[in-house]
Amino acid sequence: MATTLKQLDYSVLQQCMHCGMCLPTCPTYVETKRERNSPRGRIALMRSIADGETQVTKSFGEEMYYCLGCLACVTACPAGVNYVELFETARADVERKGVLHTPQRGFWRWLTLEVLFMRPRLLRAVGMGLRWYQRSGVEKVVRGSGLLRLLPEGLRRLEPQTPVMSAVFSNGLIEEVEEPVGVRKYRVALLTGCVQDLAFAEVNRDTADVLLANGCEVVTPSVQPCCGSLHGHNGAPELAMELARRQLDLFEVESLDAIISNAGGCGSHLKHYGPLLKEDARYAERARLWDSKVRDVHEWLAEIGFRVPSAGCGVEEVTYHESCHLTHGQKVVAAPRLVLGSIPGLKVVELPESNWCCGSAGIYNITQPEQSAKLLKRKVEKIAETGVPVVATSNPGCHLQIAAELKADLGNKCKSVTQPVTLLAQAYRNERSGGVVNGEA
């Protein structure tokens, strides 16, 4: 992968014909109405750097981090511009040139990208520590003490929203190999993710259950590396490549029918190991094979014709928020709705602007708290418009972000966030415990 705009295949930049079709779909352009905050404006800036007319400056760096990476522009673009490659290369260039460098930013990047998210065991240990902190009462003491002022501004604001860590992580909930109840039709691997694993390990359990209920043997290595999407999206392509190689080493790709992801953001990145490793002679081919097998869980369920449950899931009404990378990155749009729609007694109410970014966007809510908060507010207002008590989404980032705001938004009738697979898993469970169509779960 190119790490500077000048190395980038120029035709990728040229593909943008500045028609502007992407403008009305871009949350940052719609906010400011300034061309530099639009996809075509950003691409023009990248191109002028590639052309040597302008330099990678601080202002350019800020622009690249103001972009959410939501990829709404990719869906809108008639010319098929590969914005993902442009965006990742631009951010990598910004990092290489160090135009945004401050000691504090450097520290946090190092801690997250190079330490925590490179070491899954350490990440879980930190998660465990965090759980202890949250449960033991120390959290209250620390909040009272003013110690939090040591955190950078963005994190401090988010601190009250820190996800409550799962009691057990996926490895405590899922065996390395699990066999389906009836006939085995497929053999699939389950990717547990890092944020999903730390905050929503049960969603991983639910995903495994749903797969088992549909004739899949499920292989889940207990310690999995981060998929590297965080690194790819934040200008650290070398680390992203390293993580991709580790991932490829961990799975017997040839023997699998599919590799299942249940997190929109991870899945979008996981499907692009091929281009990421295309210059790595040892891994290129395997990466391509890998790409061809990665499926979002809903996509996979729709593809194999999943079994419609005969019981309900205990929820009567739900609305669905589309994670950007599931809908724009992976183009998985109908399948999650199909899953929700299949559950008996569950009414699916369409969410207005369901594919408009909620502002979570990886670590955007930390780096750009203001714009993130505006988008989040817009999102929960739309959720309130539906008048539905439960919203489903399929990405841990969106899940956390929306849940925190709904908790704070007292007037909102919607109080709960869940994921489509969780509801389907619940329906399958209810079948076994006597076929509840609705009511108590």
Ligand X SMILES: Cc1cc2nc3c(=O)[nH]c(=O)nc-3n(C[C@H](O)[C@H](O)[C@H](O)COP(=O)(O)OP(=O)(O)OC[C@H]3O[C@@H](n4cnc5c(N)ncnc54)[C@H](O)[C@@H]3O)c2cc1C
Contact residues toward ligand SF4 (CB under 6 A) are 16-22, 25-28, 39-40, 42-43, 67-73, 76-79, 81, 83
If one asks whether residue 34 binds another protein (CB under 8 A), the answer comes out as: yes
If one asks whether residue 18 binds another protein (CB under 8 A), the answer comes out as: yes
* 382's tokens: 């739309």
Contact 56, 3 (CB under 8 A): no
Binds another protein (CB under 8 A): choice among 2, 6, 31, 35 = 35
- Kindly list the strands in the beta sheet with 294-296, ordered across the sheet, starting from the edge strand earlier in the chain: 177-178, 216-219, 186-190, 258-261, 294-296
Query: Closer CB to another protein, residue 23 or residue 361?
Result: 23
Q: How far is CA 413 from CA 88, 195, 375, in A?
A: 38, 27, 19
Query: Closer CB to ligand SF4, residue 30 or residue 250?
Result: 30
If one asks whether residue 19 binds ligand X (CB under 6 A), the answer comes out as: yes
Q: Residue 78 Cβ, how far from another protein at the closest point, in Å? A: 3
Q: Residue 83 Cβ, how far from ligand SF4 at the closest point, in Å? A: 6
Q: How far is Cα 59 from Cα 74, in angstroms, rounded to an integer?
A: 24
3-state class percentages of the chain: helix first, strand second, coil last, to nearest 5 = 55, 5, 35
CA angle (254, 259, 260) in 5-degree steps: 170
Q: How far is Cα 335 from Cα 295, in angstroms, rounded to an integer?
A: 12
Q: How far is CA 73 from CA 37, 70, 321, in A?
A: 12, 8, 18
Query: Closer CB to another protein, residue 78 or residue 137?
Result: 78
Binds another protein (CB under 8 A): choice among 41, 237, 329, 397 = 41
Query: Closer CB to ligand X, residue 78 or residue 434?
Result: 78
Say which entry of ligand X, another protein, ligand SF4, none residue 28 contacts (CB below 5 to 8 A, set by partner kind): ligand SF4
Q: Residue 246 Cβ, how far from another protein at the closest point, in Å? A: 35
Say which entry of ligand X, ligand SF4, another protein, none residue 36 contacts (CB below 5 to 8 A, set by partner kind): another protein
> Which uninterrupted H or E stretch holds 91?
helix 83-97
> Which uninterrupted H or E stretch holds 408?
helix 396-408
Residues that bind another protein (CB under 8 A): 10-11, 14-15, 17-21, 23-24, 33-36, 38, 40-42, 44-45, 48, 53-54, 57, 59-60, 63, 78-80
